[in-house]
């Protein structure tokens, strides 16, 4: 270390650090970040950390990290990548000494939160101070103090929009890159360009499966990026298939879990299902049936605990996956078992130790986008072979395991895709395009994508942004677009917020947008459906579901956020409190952008509601359906999809024109969260889109033409016989 000054904190130089030095620090008596003695919990966790495969390779890691600007890293799930590597980097980068941050991105909010908590414990610091996390609508970091930040990839992408050089960061780790989320894919493109401008910035791409070669090649600067491989420490997993396809995978899954519990050696079970409702339902059923089994045969069947895991579950409840299996009911009795029922989160993002059995029905919820009809939907779809292998791997972490695939071997070989399609190929890109344009990327077609999206999808995004007046006809960002990009929302929603003052209803639109940004607020427990529906009826505004959401939010405020009130009205207190939090954050953005936050009290509530509905039209004018034929069937505007009102819809009639928030595809196509609107507003407020000259022929066009004619007639009468000026056609807000 000749000629260099010793660092005051550790006595070694950043970036030339060796594993021995770091081990000296972590084993030391004093916490280098807080200067306090290490706690007993720290020592206990350290012993466990030292056993992780990654820990054994610290020296090798430092050698590669010092030498290269970009590293691609692969390793089995559970080997310690997510929790350890960012800490290794901290000891080398020393971000705390130069006001920089080490960022580690996660595709999922749950993972960002829970890993940050774990790492704060591992480093013996307080979560939200030295180690923090940042997810949409929740920033658990302390400026100036936080030097290790776990964040969703979406949040880092938003930051890149305003600071394309990402100056705050010394190292950026993109974790779970194999998941190929939209944000991670775009970040890879941005970082690839950025490393040329910022020679001091280091990048680590971490991935669980073996598609590392693709990333290595993609990150070829002079040579392909080097590969850092953490050898797995996995045990063999025996795979079982069903003889025949299972007609009902949930029922088959429950049956299999109970079969394992009754017949197999001790060891915990991990069952993959697709979403919250399915998971909660399965938990309930398994508990009931397990109790029956125990009652029949208390001497051989032990207690079974069922633990759900999905992303909208609050963090304390997510921690339950780490609880040990239940003890035998009586000393020496049959041992207990834990079954975790999880969405895809447990596939790679979160590691649960002690799993010996995996039950894999072969499905997950996946986003699908059809650019032709501009519909993005979440569909329960077959997983890929890579996913199936990953799932099976979860069983071999602690000892040899078994994986029960609830599909035939033939289906596995013939029907499943090799890899899950990258999200960029199956998403609506409106938001992404706006972010890229804001980040200064002009040529979206020639951007260096890992996998390029379909040109039609890009075109659709540009078209939407142009109609929303966020981009001009040449694709340049307008001042409206620049403002819109400040909101962490879909462009339709930010547009609505920005125009809301013109309709004297910003407070109301704020509340509606907040309510649309959180998980469903309506609770509908299986055994109290009638009561729940009756409670909902009392809060329903017949003009539209958006107004109903507003009403619920206002009542929640009037009742001072009382959890009992929520409970009594079958509303989720958790979602409501989240909505309240989202609202305050959006309010802050509006204030910063100096968008007037106004509301006007009307004697006449109908008029007030009308204004709110008009503001909704300014954002969602492309999500409109027209009633055609009898029996309440609707056809979506321009795309001509036949849809029905979702059963949850609270409209008391079937209006001719409706605006909807969501297209839901189950056995039928539904539109959900629907509001009654008028054709006049469409023609008046969004004349660009509703230009009848280019509107596709059909009943909707005829109806619009009739309305236009009537209006012209009325105007002509008012202005006298000479007037033949066309109606004002420019959108009000561009």
Best CA proximity match to 184, nearest among 517, 451, 367, 461: 451
Binding-site partner at residue 334 among Mg ion, ligand ADP, none, CB < 5 to 8 Å by type: none
Stretch that binds ligand ADP, among 74-82, 273-281, 488-496, 542-550 (CB under 6 A): 74-82
353 lines the binding site for ligand ADP (CB under 6 A): yes
Torsion sign across C-alpha atoms 492, 496, 497, 499: positive
Q: To the nearest whole angstrom, how small is the minimum distance from the Cβ of residue 467 to Mg ion? A: 40
Q: For residues 81 and 149, which CB has a smaller minimum distance to Mg ion in the complex?
A: 81
Binding-site partner at residue 171 among ligand ADP, Mg ion, none, CB < 5 to 8 Å by type: none
- Measure the CA–CA gap between 540 and 67, rounded to whole angstroms: 63
Residues 31, 57, 82, 96: which binds ligand ADP (CB under 6 A)?
82
Best CA proximity match to 341, nearest among 394, 290, 395, 273: 273
Q: Within 323-352, which residues bind ligand ADP (CB under 6 A)? A: 351
108 lines the binding site for ligand ADP (CB under 6 A): no
Binding-site partner at residue 256 among ligand ADP, Mg ion, none, CB < 5 to 8 Å by type: none
- Measure the CA–CA gap between 549 and 654, rounded to whole angstroms: 19
Q: For residues 318 and 540, which CB has a smaller minimum distance to ligand ADP in the complex?
A: 318
Residues 55, 57, 81, 505: which binds ligand ADP (CB under 6 A)?
81
Stretch that binds ligand ADP, among 72-80, 486-494, 502-510, 516-524 (CB under 6 A): 72-80
Best CA proximity match to 393, nearest among 263, 270, 249, 250: 270
Q: For residues 82 and 673, which CB has a smaller minimum distance to Mg ion in the complex?
A: 82
Which residues have C-beta within 8 Å of that of residue 129, sequence separation ≥ 6?
Answer: 142, 145, 146
Q: Is 374 left (phi over 0), alpha (psi -120 to 50) or beta?
A: left
- Measure the CA–CA gap between 80 and 83, rounded to whole angstroms: 6
492 lines the binding site for ligand ADP (CB under 6 A): no
Torsion sign across C-alpha atoms 135, 138, 144, 146: negative
83 lines the binding site for ligand ADP (CB under 6 A): yes
Stretch that binds ligand ADP, among 82-90, 179-187, 355-363, 705-713 (CB under 6 A): 82-90
- Measure the CA–CA gap between 393 and 355, rounded to whole angstroms: 10
Q: For residues 79 and 686, which CB has a smaller minimum distance to ligand ADP in the complex?
A: 79
Q: What is the Cα 309 distance to its own chain's centre?
A: 15
Q: For residues 20 and 44, which CB has a smaller minimum distance to ligand ADP in the complex?
A: 44
Q: To the nearest whole angstrom, how small is the minimum distance from the Cβ of residue 80 to Mg ion? A: 8
Torsion sign across C-alpha atoms 644, 648, 651, 652: positive
23, 58 contact by CB (below 8 A): yes
Q: To the nearest whole angstrom, how small is the minimum distance from the Cβ of residue 446 to Mg ion? A: 33
Q: For residues 110 and 547, which CB has a smaller minimum distance to ligand ADP in the complex?
A: 110
Binding-site partner at residue 170 among Mg ion, ligand ADP, none, CB < 5 to 8 Å by type: none
Q: To the nearest whole angstrom, how small is the minimum distance from the Cβ of residue 348 to ligand ADP? A: 7
Q: For residues 82 and 370, which CB has a smaller minimum distance to ligand ADP in the complex?
A: 82
Stretch that binds Mg ion, among 82-90, 91-99, 124-132, 631-639 (CB under 5 A): 82-90
Q: To the nearest whole angstrom, how small is the minimum distance from the Cβ of residue 365 to ligand ADP? A: 22
Residues 71, 80, 613, 637: which binds ligand ADP (CB under 6 A)?
80
Residues 78, 132, 422, 655: which binds ligand ADP (CB under 6 A)?
78
Binding mask 284-323 for ligand ADP (x = CB under 6 A): --------------------------------------x-
Q: For residues 233 and 385, which CB has a smaller minimum distance to ligand ADP in the complex?
A: 233
Stretch that binds Mg ion, among 62-70, 75-83, 542-550, 645-653 (CB under 5 A): 75-83
412, 241 contact by CB (below 8 A): yes
- Measure the CA–CA gap between 241 and 411, rounded to whole angstroms: 10
Q: What backbone phi and psi angles, to 5 degrees, belong to 493?
A: -70, -40
Stretch that binds Mg ion, among 76-84, 231-239, 360-368, 689-697 (CB under 5 A): 76-84
317, 574 contact by CB (below 8 A): no
Q: For residues 81 and 337, which CB has a smaller minimum distance to Mg ion in the complex?
A: 81
Q: To the nearest whole angstrom, how small is the minimum distance from the Cβ of residue 209 to ligand ADP? A: 12
Please name the residue that has the structure tokens 């002009």.
Answer: 442
Q: For residues 117 and 614, which CB has a smaller minimum distance to ligand ADP in the complex?
A: 117
- Measure the CA–CA gap between 708 and 692, rounded to whole angstroms: 9
82 lines the binding site for Mg ion (CB under 5 A): yes
Q: Which helix (H) or strand (E) holds 203?
A: strand 202-207
Q: For residues 81 and 627, which CB has a smaller minimum distance to Mg ion in the complex?
A: 81
Which structure tokens are listed for 429? 């890109």
84 lines the binding site for Mg ion (CB under 5 A): no
List, as own/partner pairs, every contact residues 113-120 make where C-beta atoms lie below 8 angstroms and the sequence separation is at least 24, other chains included.
Answer: 113/140, 113/150, 113/315, 114/315, 114/318, 114/319, 114/350, 115/82, 115/83, 115/150, 116/140, 116/149, 116/150, 117/315, 118/83, 119/83, 119/86, 119/87, 119/148, 119/150
Q: Is 523 left (phi over 0), alpha (psi -120 to 50) or beta?
A: beta
77 lines the binding site for ligand ADP (CB under 6 A): yes
**Residue 698: HSE in the Cβ half-sphere, 13 Å Cα cutoff:** 17
Torsion sign across C-alpha atoms 539, 545, 551, 553: positive
Binding-site partner at residue 83 among ligand ADP, Mg ion, none, CB < 5 to 8 Å by type: ligand ADP
Q: How far apart are the first and last CA of the chain?
A: 61
Residue nearest to Mg ion (CB): 82
- Measure the CA–CA gap between 363 and 250, rounded to whole angstroms: 10
Q: For residues 85 and 590, which CB has a smaller minimum distance to ligand ADP in the complex?
A: 85
Binding mask 235-274 for ligand ADP (x = CB under 6 A): ----------------------------------------
3-class state of residue 507 by DSSP: helix
Q: To the nearest whole angstrom, how small is the minimum distance from the Cβ of residue 387 to ligand ADP? A: 15
Residues 108, 118, 158, 536: which binds ligand ADP (CB under 6 A)?
118
Stretch that binds ligand ADP, among 26-34, 78-86, 163-171, 684-692 (CB under 6 A): 78-86
Residue 530's CB: how many other CB atoms inside 10 A? 9
- Measure the CA–CA gap between 726 and 565, rounded to whole angstroms: 53
Q: Which helix (H) or strand (E) holds 495?
A: helix 491-499
Q: For residues 163 and 353, which CB has a smaller minimum distance to ligand ADP in the complex?
A: 353
**What number of chain residues touch Mg ion (CB under 5 A)?**
2
- Measure the CA–CA gap between 25 and 720, rounded to whole angstroms: 88
75 lines the binding site for ligand ADP (CB under 6 A): yes
Q: Within 642-661, which residues bind Mg ion (CB under 5 A)? A: none
Q: To the nearest whole angstrom, how small is the minimum distance from the Cβ of residue 343 to Mg ion? A: 16
636 lines the binding site for ligand ADP (CB under 6 A): no
Residues lying near ligand ADP in the complex (CB under 6 A): 52, 75, 77-84, 114, 118, 322, 351, 353
Residues lying near Mg ion in the complex (CB under 5 A): 81-82
């Amino acid at each position: 270390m000749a000629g260099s000054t010793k660092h005051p904190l550790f006595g070694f130089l950043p970036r030339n650090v060796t594993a021995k030095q770091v081990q000296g620090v972590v084993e030391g008596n004093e916490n280098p970040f807080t200067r306090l003695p290490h706690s007993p919990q720290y020592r206990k966790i350290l012993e466990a950390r030292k056993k992780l495969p990654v820990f054994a390779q610290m020296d090798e890691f430092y050698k590669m990290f010092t030498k290269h600007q970009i590293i691609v890293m692969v390793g089995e799930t559970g080997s310690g990548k997510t929790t350890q590597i960012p800490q290794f980097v901290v000891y080398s980068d020393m971000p705390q000494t130069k006001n920089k941050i080490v960022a580690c991105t996660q595709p999922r909010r749950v993972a960002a939160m829970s890993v940050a908590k774990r790492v704060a414990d591992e480093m013996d610091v307080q979560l939200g101070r030295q180690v923090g996390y940042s997810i949409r609508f929740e920033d658990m970091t302390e400026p100036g103090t936080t030097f290790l930040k776990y964040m969703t990839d979406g949040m880092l992408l938003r930051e890149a929009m305003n600071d394309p050089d990402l100056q705050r960061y010394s190292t950026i780790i993109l974790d779970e890159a194999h998941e190929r989320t939209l944000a991670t894919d775009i970040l890879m493109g941005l970082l690839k360009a950025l490393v040329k401008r910022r020679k001091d910035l280091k990048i680590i791409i971490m991935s669980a499966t073996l598609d590392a070669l693709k990333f290595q090649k993609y990150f070829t600067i002079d040579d392909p990026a080097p590969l850092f491989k953490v050898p797995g420490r996995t045990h063999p997993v025996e795979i079982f298939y069903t003889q025949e396809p299972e007609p009902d995978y949930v029922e088959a899954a429950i049956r299999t879990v109970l079969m394992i519990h009754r017949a197999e050696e001790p060891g915990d079970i991990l069952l993959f299902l697709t979403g919250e409702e399915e998971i909660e339902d399965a938990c309930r059923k398994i508990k009931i049936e397990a109790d029956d089994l125990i009652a029949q045969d208390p001497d051989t069947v032990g207690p079974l605990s069922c633990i759900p895991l999905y992303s909208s579950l609050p963090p304390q409840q997510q921690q339950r996956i780490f609880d040990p299996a239940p003890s035998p009911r009586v000393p020496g009795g049959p041992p207990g078992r834990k079954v975790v029922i999880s969405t895809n989160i447990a596939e790679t993002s979160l590691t649960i130790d002690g799993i010996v059995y995996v039950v894999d029905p072969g499905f997950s919820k996946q986003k699908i986008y059809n650019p032709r009809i501009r519909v993005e939907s979440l569909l329960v779809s077959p997983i890929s072979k890579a996913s199936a292998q990953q799932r099976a791997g979860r069983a071999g972490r602690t000892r040899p395991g078994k994986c029960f695939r609830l599909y035939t071997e033939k289906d596995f070989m013939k029907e499943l895709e090799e890899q899950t399609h990258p999200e960029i190929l199956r998403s609506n890109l409106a938001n992404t395009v706006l972010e890229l344009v804001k980040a200064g990327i002009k040529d979206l077609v020639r951007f260096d994508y890992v996998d390029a999206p379909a040109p039609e999808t890009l075109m659709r995004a540009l078209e939407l942004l142009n109609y929303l007046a966020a981009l001009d006809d040449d694709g340049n960002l307008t001042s409206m677009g620049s403002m819109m990009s400040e909101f962490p929302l879909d462009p339709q929603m930010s547009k609505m917020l920005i125009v809301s003052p013109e309709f004297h209803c910003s407070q109301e639109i704020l509340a509606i947008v907040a309510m649309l940004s959180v998980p469903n607020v309506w609770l509908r427990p299986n055994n109290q459906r009638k009561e729940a529906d009756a409670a909902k009826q009392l809060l329903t505004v017949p003009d539209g579901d958006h107004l109903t959401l507003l009403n619920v939010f206002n009542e929640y405020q009037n009742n001072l956020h009382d959890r009992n009130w929520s409970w009594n009205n079958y509303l989720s207190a958790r979602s409501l409190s989240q909505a309240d939090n989202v609202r305050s954050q959006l309010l802050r953005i509006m204030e910063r952008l100096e968008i007037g936050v106004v509301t006007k009290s009307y004697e006449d509530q109908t008029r007030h509601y009308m204004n709110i509905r008009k503001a909704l039209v300014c954002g969602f004018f492309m999500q409109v359906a027209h009633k055609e034929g009898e029996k309440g069937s609707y056809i979506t505007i321009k795309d001509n999809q036949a849809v029905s009102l979702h059963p949850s819809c609270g409209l008391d009639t079937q209006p001719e024109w409706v605006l909807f928030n969501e297209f839901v595809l189950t056995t039928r196509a539904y539109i959900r969260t629907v509001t009654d609107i008028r054709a006049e507003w469409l023609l008046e407020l969004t004349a660009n889109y509703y230009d009848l000259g280019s509107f596709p022929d059909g009943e909707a066009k005829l109806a619009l033409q009739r309305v236009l004619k009537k209006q012209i007639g009325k105007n002509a009468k008012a202005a006298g016989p000479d007037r033949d000026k066309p109606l004002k056609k420019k959108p009000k807000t561009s």
